[in-house]
Each structure stands twice: as structure tokens, then as C-alpha cells.
Amino acid sequence: MKRGFLNSSKAKARTLGPAPSGNSSGSTTEPLPLEPNAPARLLEGLATDFGFEQDPSSPNSAVINMRHTSLPSNGPPDEPVSQCIFYPGSKEVLTELPGFPQPLMHPATPTFCVATFSGKGMGLVSTRALKMGDLILNERPLLLAPQAMPIYRPKNCTDQEHLQRGLAELEKHIKIALERMRPASRAAYLSLANSCKKEGLIVGLFLTNGLELAGLRPGVQGPAGNYSAVCKDISRLNHRQVRVAMKNLLTLTVLASCSPNASTSFDMASFSYRLYAVRDIAAGEELTYQYTDVEVPASERRKVLKGYDFVCACSACKDAPASDARRATIASGESLCRALIEKSFADDALVAKCRAHIALILKEGLEHIILHGSLIRVLMYAHICRSDAKGASEWATKLDNFRWENHEDVRALLDPASPAYKKHHFWGTVTVR
């Protein structure tokens, strides 16, 4: 999953993109009656599903038959049913997964609560100390919808008109999804923050609170296949953290950050987001999430965050020249990984540079970025190549904590005495002088 909430209004306009060719159609289907809050129905599986008929009298509406689907869980009756507005084929991507939908997995003891923050509205706060890699929560979306509705674009339609039509189409579909929601889910959706008031309540809430989800539209890469998911709790995550006084543990202090302390992964099999701590988090710390690419300069981040109607006052934004320089160096780290791989991990100077790069990443509070995991991986290999199981297992342990990322399974390498080391194809390939 690509991280980040929806981008700025400008970027949203772009995601409406060129309209696919084909027949035009509209949503003529009457909304289904509200789903009764009946557990028995939940267990019937994928209970309700309907497509949209073509409407030749409405040539400017959707050109693809979107499918409204309720995705119930196989878990306890109070687990939310997700209302989904699918492109054709997306539902099948999910339902063909073994055991779909698999149950959610929850932390053994509660990890967070919702609190109100001055100037930021509500947010999430840790209620206990968390370690890097700890699961904070696992949540199924209230609503999943395309980031932008595929609509027909007449020849002389301006960008602005096209955007407005797309948003109107999106609103039409979200209204149907809201009518199909259980009352508690609908109330949760409607209680979220709206920083896109110009777009109206229904769409504004979607744009403010959606998390991008890619890879669910068969055969389509990029924005035209992307969805956005709105969740009850994860959508409450703010972008910059503050520390709140909790049980007299901490005083109120504004901490750094375009440097989030939490990150998500989307698990298709349970159709849910998992939120993980990306570094150790103290009890009472606000949980934060990145809304925009944090490797770009502060001025670019500011433009995106303007779409969310706030100016980030974190230390990286405040001391932009120094932080931008460090982040530019960090962004160049991919070439370091490549160079070390090209040298078959044998170059000690490159190994030292990778370590220094990780130190810089930690200094900037960018533990969650993909590059951090990549550097740890190449260092783990460098130790395996030098027949150093102890050193390698320390990096493997760090990599194993990257639960928010899909990386190779390193569990067999956590114990330095594991026989997996001597069998590893890199074992002993570099001679230590």
C-alpha cells in the first residue's frame, strides 16, 4: 500500500484523469434499504451486491459500472461491515483469496484512545508504551471508494467542470454507500473532520479522511486504479504529534514531526488496515501518520498539507534548510544500497556508509520509510556474507519489526545459532581480512 492520505485538491483533480472510453452509464438503481443490524445476516457471506445499469440519458455520469458491495466479516457481530464501491473485478480479487474474509487480529491489551488536541481537532494517543513493530490497531474501513470516479469527458469540458462532475458522481455513489451503512458506521463517518468544506460534507469527509489503497483494480496500475478508504479510528490520525499529560507521566510538549511514529499496511485477506508503531512510543504520545511524501522539501510538503487546511509546525518544517538538506541526503540512499549489491556486499566502506545513512534516518525520525528497511536488509546480507551470524541476527531482528512493510520472512535468521545461516547462499562469500 502506498502511504498517505489523499493529496492536495490539485492532485485530486489530476486523479480524475482522462476518461476511459466506452459506453456511458449512470446510477439508476434505487438504494437498497438500510442494512439491519442483524448478526445472522453478517454470516451469510457477501450478502448484498448490485451493479449500476446504463443510463443513456445521463452521458456525463460514470462510464464504468461500479459495484456497490457490503463486505461483512466472519468475525464477531460487532465487527464493521465495509461499504465498497468497486470497479469491476476488484471484489473478485478479494473473494478469491483463501479464507476471505479472515478475522481481524487485535493487540492483547488496548493501545490507544481518542483525544482532542488544541488546534488539530481529535487524534489518537497511546495509552501504554509501545515497541517498534507493535500492532496498535487493526481496522476494516467504513467505506472504500475509487479515489476519483471514472467519468466521460466531453470535448470542450474545462478541467474545473470535469473536476466538479467527478466530485458530483463521487457524492452520488457515497450517498448510496452511506444509506447502506449500519447506523453506527454512518454516524462514525459523519463525525469525522472535514477540511474540504468547499466540496461539501459527504465528499469533503471522504477527501479529508481517505487512505490511499492501490493494487485492487485488476490490470490497472496508477491513480486510475487507486481506491481511498475511510476508517473510524485510523482516519483520526493527525500529521504532527504532541505529547499529552497522562496520569502525570508527561507534560504537554510539542514534539517534532513530518516524522510519523506510526504506519499502516493493508491486509487483503482480512480486508483491513493494520497500524504499527514504527519506533518505540511512550504512553501518552500522540500517534501520527504521514499525509504526504516526507522525503521531499518542506515547501513541497506545505503545498500538499494546505489541501488539509493546516500549516505543519513540526521541527523539520520550522528548521527547513537543515532538515531539507538531511532529507535530500537520505533520499540518495537508494544508490548506496544498489552499489553495495553490485559489489556483492564486499565493500567495507559502503557498509560503513549504509550504517551512517541509517543514523541519519533515525535523526530525522523517518524510521517508517522503505529505504530504512532496504538499508537494514543489505547490512544483514553483508554480515551473512562475512559469516557473522551474530551481527546478521541483530539486523534481522530489526527487519522483522518492519511489520508495516512486505519484506522477506527473516524469522529463521533471528537466532544466530540457526542452521539457516550456514545454508544461506550468501554465507561466507566475503573473506574478512
Ligand X SMILES: C[S@@+](CC[C@H](N)C(=O)[O-])C[C@H]1O[C@@H](n2cnc3c(N)ncnc32)[C@H](O)[C@@H]1O
DSSP state at residue 378 = H
Binders in 314-333 for ligand X, by CB under 6 A: none
d(CA 111, CA 276): 11
Min dist CB 53 to ligand X, Å, is 35
One residue of 209, 226, 228, 374 binding ligand X per CB under 6 A = 209
264 near ligand X, judged by CB under 6 A: no
Evaluate whether 261 touches 289 at the Cβ level (below 8 Å).
no
Binder among 193, 213, 281, 354 for ligand X (CB under 6 A) = 193
Burial 255-264 (b: 16+ CB within 10 A, else e): bbbbbbbbbb
Q: How far is CA 215 from CA 38, 205, 219, 266, 426, in A?
A: 32, 23, 9, 11, 32
One of 71, 256, 312, 369 touching ligand X (CB under 6 A):
312
Which residues, numbered 65-124, are part of the site for ligand X (CB under 6 A)? 119-123
CA dihedral 249, 253, 257, 260 (to 10 degrees): 20
Residue 239 touches ligand X, criterion: CB under 6 A: yes
Give the binding range for ligand X (CB under 6 A) out of 82-90, 130-138, 150-158, 309-317: 309-317
Cα distance between residue 235 and residue 425, in whole Å:
43
Contact status: 7 vs ligand X (CB under 6 A): no
Instruction: Report the helix count and the strand count for the chain, using DSSP H and E.
Output: 14, 14
Q: Which span sits near ligand X by CB under 6 A: 46-54, 61-69, 233-241, 362-370? A: 233-241
CA-nearest of 347, 342, 343, 300 to 324 is 300
- Examine residue 310 and tell whether it contacts ligand X (CB under 6 A): yes
C-alpha angle with apex 370: 369 to 375, nearest 5 degrees? 105
When asked if residue 232 is in the footprint of ligand X (CB under 6 A), the reply is no
Number of residues that bind ligand X (CB under 6 A): 20
Query: Which of 62, 188, 192, 378 is close enough to bind ligand X by CB under 6 A?
Result: 192
d(CA 214, CA 398) in angstroms, rounded, equals 27
CB 317 within 8 A of CB 258: yes
Stretch that binds ligand X, among 21-29, 86-94, 224-232, 238-246 (CB under 6 A): 238-246
Q: Is 8 in the site for ligand X (CB under 6 A)?
A: no
Using Cβ positions, the residue closest to ligand X within the complex turns out to be 121
Q: Which is nearer to ligand X, 6 or 413 (CB)?
A: 6
Residue 159 interacts with ligand X (CB under 6 A)?
no
From 12, 140, 173, 236, residue interacting with ligand X (rule: CB under 6 A): 236
Positions that interact with ligand X (CB under 6 A): 5, 119-123, 192-193, 195, 208-209, 235-236, 238-240, 308-310, 312
